[in-house]
Amino acid sequence: MISNEHRLAGKVAFVTGGSRGIGESIVKRLASEGAAVAFTYASSSLKAEQLASEINENGGKALALHADSQDVTAMNKAIAQAVAAFGRIQILVNNAGVFDAKPYDQFTIEEFDRMVAVNIKAVFAAVQAVAPAMGEGDRIITIGSVNGDATGFPGMSLYAMSKAAVAGLTRGLARDLGPHGVTVNNIQPGPVDTDMNPADGPDAGSMRSLMALGRHGTTMEIAGLVAYLASSEAAYITGASIDINGGFMI
């Protein structure tokens, strides 16, 4: 059995939106398993730098890079900085995303464009920037959402659309990159306890009523699945959209 402590030793990971919530836990988990981790943040520079410092001070390797995911030029610059610092990127985790829910006729076209830019275009652009240098055993992992398959509530049209698109993109990329030995997978979390969706929030009870386990997930549970898919143990999984949702709407 491979020890989790060194499962990703020698690997370089790039995580978008890695300074808080699910992204922060992903950065910590990959670093704890031996990967050097570069991650982006759009705001809260102090929190991002503190996270990188914590990892570095504890013997890991981490680099915080400021880049808004909807700005393709800024993201390409951040990727280049990560390569310059750590070498070839072997694990790409597309975690950054935006969420908005309201009746379809209340969305503006500008809000539609932002949802597409962050949740879909940024994923594709990151893959275009990183994948050409990837090879056998490298990994691309995107954080989608259970809402790509099931909404549960009204007002989810644009968000559900964006996450369903990510699932389709994953399948297509898996075909394109499979001959190069690169796996491409999509993780679909259900409600997860974060600042944006707290387990004690006003809508938490309604969400729990739709889940078999009756609770929110934790960010570390999502990070654990990311680490598994990034490892050699998951070499035969590609093109998959994997639910981790507490039995949401089953």
In a 10 Å sphere around its CB, with 0-12 CB exposed, 13-18 middle and 19+ buried, how is residue 229 labelled? buried
Structure pTM? 0.95
pLDDT of residue 195: 83
* Phi, psi torsion values for 79, nearest 5 degrees: -65, -45
In this prediction, residue 77 carries a pLDDT of 98
Q: For position 170, what pLDDT does the model report?
A: 98
- Cα separation of 139 and 235, whole Å? 9
| Structural domains of the chain sorted by starting position, each given as residue range(s) with its CATH number in brackets | 4-244 (3.40.50.720)
Distance of CA 11 to the CA centre of its chain: 17
Question: What are the helix and strand counts (H, E) for the chain?
Answer: 8, 7
Q: Are 163 and 152 in contact (CB under 8 A)?
A: no
Tens digit of each residue's pLDDT, the chain (250 residues) = 345 668 999 999 999 999 999 999 999 999 999 999 999 999 889 999 999 999 999 999 999 999 999 999 999 999 999 999 999 999 999 999 999 999 999 999 999 999 999 999 999 999 999 999 999 999 999 999 999 998 888 999 999 999 999 999 999 999 999 999 999 999 999 999 988 888 888 888 888 888 999 999 999 999 999 999 999 999 999 999 999 999 998 8
Bridge partners, 91 (sequence order): 13, 139
What local confidence, expressed as pLDDT, does residue 202 receive?
A: 87
Residues 6+ apart with CB under 8 A from 225: 187, 242, 244
Residue found under tokens 């992903």: 26
For residue 109, the surrounding DSSP H or E stretch is helix 109-116
Return the amino acid letter for 160. A
d(CA 168, CA 186): 10
Between β-strands 61-66 and 36-41, what pairing exists: parallel, antiparallel or unpaired? parallel
Q: Which residues contact 228 (CB under 8 A, 6 or more apart)?
A: 234
* DSSP result, 34-84: T-EEEEEESS-HHHHHHHHHHHHHTT-EEEEEE--TT-HHHHHHHHHHHHH
From CA 81, how far away is CA 59, in angstroms rounded? 21
Closest to 208 (Cα-Cα) out of 197, 222, 220 = 197
The verdict on whether 159 is a catalytic residue reads yes
**Residue 140 burial (10 A CB sphere; 0-12, 13-18, 19+):** buried
Q: Residue 29, exposed/middle/buried by CB under 10 A (0-12, 13-18, 19+)? A: buried
Q: Which residues contact 24 (CB under 8 A, 6 or more apart)?
A: 18, 51, 219
Alpha-carbon Rg for the chain, nearest whole angstrom, is 17
pLDDT for the residue 4: 65
Choose the catalytic residue: 41, 104, 159, 236: 159
